Structure 1
Amino acid sequence: MADRLISIGVIGAGIMGERLMRAALEHAADVVRVAGVWDPSPASLARISRELPPVPLLDSPEAVVAAADCVYVASPPASHLGHARRALAAGRALFCEKPLAVDPADARAFVAEAGAARAAVNFPFASSFAVQHLQSWIAEGVIGTPRSLGIEVAFATWPRSWQRDAAAWLDGPAQGGFTREVVSHFLFLARRLLGELVLQSGRARFPEPGLSERGLSARLTAGGVPVTLSGTVGTTVHDDHNVFTLTGSLGSVRLRDWSIAERLQAGTWHPDPDALPNARIRPLVLRRQLEGVAHLVAGEPHALATLAEAFEVQSVVEAILAEDGH
């Protein structure tokens, strides 16, 4: 890794932008420095000024690109590729939120344009301690030969309570919905652990006109392993509940609620004793992501999600959403 601190500029001062900047300041100050942030909303920039006073407020996306070694695009999805193309055209590294775009054809074109550019997508499971534990169990032969994968996500409401300020786009069918925002993470994880994703069938339900989906079901394969996927809103009291269960010829392991790795033994799920709730472990995972960004900028190997992986996930997500099951 380079001897000097890598500078990262942030476009988008919403939840994800603030989380990454906070992690950079509080947990990764020896790895990166925040060159500045821009957002079209003065209120969002005012909040960052209050919450994270060391972060420079910049007056345009062009200023962010000029100030940084790497540009982190954390704006709403429809704007991702405009900022991403600007960053790569200027010779900067790119770290982008998912999905790459709202138009899969444009995302495909961008991946082809980018080629071998220094670019990655922010799927934090690439740096997850819990996923690392699952990988260790799998490598040890705990589950034997993978036979099936089940992915279940559920929400009390959508958007989740802490996302309501962004409901204008997060609950719209064009850019938002839990399939893009949440299910995509678990599809990425399936791709990483098992292999290529192939959708067999899928349906999303849009019972409220003009709003994002409230349910989905799908069947696919990951590296040839059968995957069942389900998602619902209003079926749990929790903001967010999810289970990713991988079963093999000898046993089962699972990831629960983002950060709890568990192993099935004698009919009972036993969590990793070192596991921490997602809210507590998230900043440390983001530090690992930022370490990956530093490697990305230096042209060194890293574990961050590639553009090709992100496009494969997006293609599956959009295909499911295109099948409106009402």
Structure 2
Amino acid sequence: MSGVRWGVIGVGDVVEHKSGPALQTVPGSSIAAVMRRDGARAEDFARRHGVPRWYDDAQALVEVGGVDAVYVATPPSSHAEHTIRAAAAGKPVYVEKPMARSVGECEAMIEACDRAGVGLFVAYYRRALPRFVAAQRVIQEGRLGRVERVEVTLLRESAGGGWRLDPELAGGGLFVDLASHTLDWLDLVFGAVTVLGSEVDGGPAESRVNVAFSFGSGVTGHGRWDFEAGRVHDAIEIVGSEGSIRMSCFGAEPAVLTTARGPVALPAGQPSVVQQPLIENVVASLLGQAEPLSTGATAIRTTRVIDTVLAGHRERHGIRFG
């Protein structure tokens, strides 16, 4: 494979702003075809972005010649379906996060891609964003000393609306959509997350979640996510014996390292297209030039944490996924 020609399933706001421009500009990458159930919108996207083909049927897109890999950018409820379809056609898959609604769906995706011998990548793009890479490097270099605890807080004024609040489509509410970013990055830095206890409140789409967790290294942590808090606050704090890092998950400002010498801002360099660094890695991986940063094997661990946290809540509300 000398380059990667993408077929994109689902061309909404994420593809328009967060990923699509990178798929078109990363060296060795281009969009060859797009699909949306609303064919007129698929055609409009194709026309505006110079994409040669458009479809209103996913099967037609994955089977067409001239498509080397498939990007699935639909709500999580159809991630497994489209991934399995693409794998059956022999196409590697880059799928949006969260990987799927449940561990069972993730396992089916991994099995399909393994059986077909194709790669499976997941869009946990904070693994490659410069400010997160800088924070990870500081931790790995031991500049915090012995890491002791992690505190995560995400508060929003109100939960808003849309499909992300429909558990049938999203797998839950905004905890599933937003906390998954933070949990995946913590998994990258400290290893698999173990849930020690959780409290979940709200309707079927959970609105308040408190989680106590730990990592294999002995580091403990706590997370609070409240999407009806009436105020906004976004902080990840990592505390060690010799210093701390404080940063947001969803802002663009640099992480701040504080030691005995005082605070210092770490390198940031937020790209204008936030998925570009990860897409560069995915393309390089498909071309045999790099090891992948975010795969089905890594992403399923975050879905496993979410399933554990929400198990009782889902049972109370009769939420089940096949």
Shorter-chain TM-score tier: 0.7 to 0.9
SS of the equivalent of 1:214 reads strand
Residue 297 in structure 1 maps to residue 286 in structure 2: yes
Displacement, 1:112?
3.7
**Shift of residue 265 of structure 1?**
3.9
- Answer whether contact 1:203 1:323 (CA < 8 A) is retained: no
Equivalent residue number for residue 320 of structure 2 = none
Q: 1:5 maps to what in 2?
A: 3
Q: Does 1:86 align with 2:85?
A: yes
Pairwise CA RMSD: 2.5
Alignment of 1:307-326 (within 5 A): 307-324=296-313
Equivalent residue of 2:206, what SS?
coil
Give the aligned residue type for 2:143. V
- Matching of residue 185 in structure 1 with residue 184 in structure 2: no
C-alpha change, 1:257 and 1:271, in structure 2 (3 Å) is farther
Assess if the C-alpha contact under 8 Å between 1:11 and 1:38 holds in 2: yes
Structure 1 residue 236, shift from structure 2 partner: 5.3
Q: Mean alpha-carbon deviation: is it higher for 241-250 or for 79-88? A: 241-250
How far 1:295 sits from its partner (Å)?
2.4
Q: Give the Cα separation in 1 of the matches to 2:48 and 2:223.
A: 38
Alignment of 1:197-276 (within 5 A): 197-206=193-202, 208=203, 211-223=204-216, 224-235=218-229, 237-238=231-232, 241-258=233-250, 259=252, 260-265=254-259, 269-272=263-266, 274-275=267-268
Greater Cα shift, 115-124 or 30-39? 115-124
Flag structure 2 segments of 5+ consecutive residues without an equivalent. 318-322
1:287/1:100 Cα in 2 relative to 1: closer, same or farther (>3 Å)?
closer
Q: How many equivalent residue pairs? A: 305
Supply the distance in 2 between the matched residues of 1:148 and 1:226 (Cα, whole angstroms).
Answer: 5
**Which residue, out of 256, 269, 277, partners 1:288?**
277
% same residue: 24
Report what 2:67 is aligned to: 68
Moved more, 132-141 or 186-195: 132-141
Query: Contact conserved, 1:122 with 1:304, CA < 8 A, in 2?
Result: no
Contact 2:42 2:56 in 1 (8 A): no
State the AA in 1 paired with 2:238.
L
- The answer as to whether partners of 1:6 and 1:32 remain within 8 angstroms in 2 is yes
**How far apart are the structure 2 equivalents of 1:193 and 1:70?**
29
Tell me the alpha carbon deviations over residues 67-87 of structure 1, each in whole angstroms, 9 at most, x when there is no partner.
421101111111111110111
Q: Deviation of residue 50 (structure 1)? A: 6.3
Per the alignment, do residues 124 and 221 of structure 1 end up closer, same or farther by CA in structure 2, a change over 3 Å counting? same
Question: Which is worse superposed, 130-139 or 291-300?
Answer: 291-300
TM-score normalised by the chain length of structure 2? 0.85
